[in-house]
Amino acid sequence: MACSTCHVIVAPEWFARLPEAVEDEEDMLDLAAGACRTSRLSCQIELTEDLDGIEVRIPADSHDMQRR
């Protein structure tokens, strides 16, 4: 985790199926544009058969806090 460019918003019915985000992920989400209650970094979601069909969307806003 070095950025929040993979920020996605997980559909509420899928969000509850995911393991909780670790503190480092939460810190990165604090920098993500358009973050909400069901925001996650897609690089931290381990795709398994249980998540087949997961629905996510990309936020309308985005910005890279590391770019100047």
What is the 8-class DSSP label of residue 10?
E
Show the domains of the chain with their CATH numbers: 7-57 (3.10.20.30)
- Residue 64 CB coordination number (10 Å): 11
pLDDT of residue 46: 96
Instruction: Supply the pTM of this predicted model.
Output: 0.83
pLDDT band at 61 (very low <50, low <70, confident <90, very high): confident
The DSSP-derived string for 28-64 is HHTTSTT--TTEEEGGG----GGGTT--EE--S----
- Asked whether the predicted pLDDT for residue 24 surpasses 80, the reply is yes
